[in-house]
Amino acid sequence: MQSPALEVRNLDITFFLKKGPLKVVDAASFRIDSGEILGLVGESGWESQSPLVH
């Protein structure tokens, strides 16, 4: 079996706001093999420009 081009396991993303922490991603996992395409779609808003990993 070939190694994936990208593999992410148990990704958590939390934004620390003045009101307190806001978890926006909870234990996301995905794998992209060579030649595959992954599209991430979400609601637009002030955080839509944030990179997946800070």
Average pLDDT along the chain, 54 residues, taken 10 residues at a time: 89 91 91 87 62 49
Within-domain flag for 7: yes
Q: Can you give the residue range of the structural domain that contains 3?
A: 1-34
- pLDDT on residue 7: 94
Residue 28 lies in a domain: yes
Instruction: Kindly report the pTM of this predicted structure.
Output: 0.62
Q: Supply the pLDDT for residue 33.
A: 94
Domain for residue 22, yes or no?
yes
Q: Is residue 52 part of a domain?
A: no
Count of domains observed in the chain: 1
Query: Which pLDDT value is given to residue 51?
Result: 56
Contact 10, 42 (CB under 8 A): no
Which pairing describes strands 6-17 and 20-32: parallel, antiparallel, or unpaired?
Answer: antiparallel
51 in a structural domain: no
How far apart are the C-alpha atoms of 42 and 48, rounded to whole Å?
8
Q: What is the chain's Cα-based Rg?
A: 14
What's residue 46's pLDDT?
A: 55
Q: What tokens were used for 54?
A: 């800070």
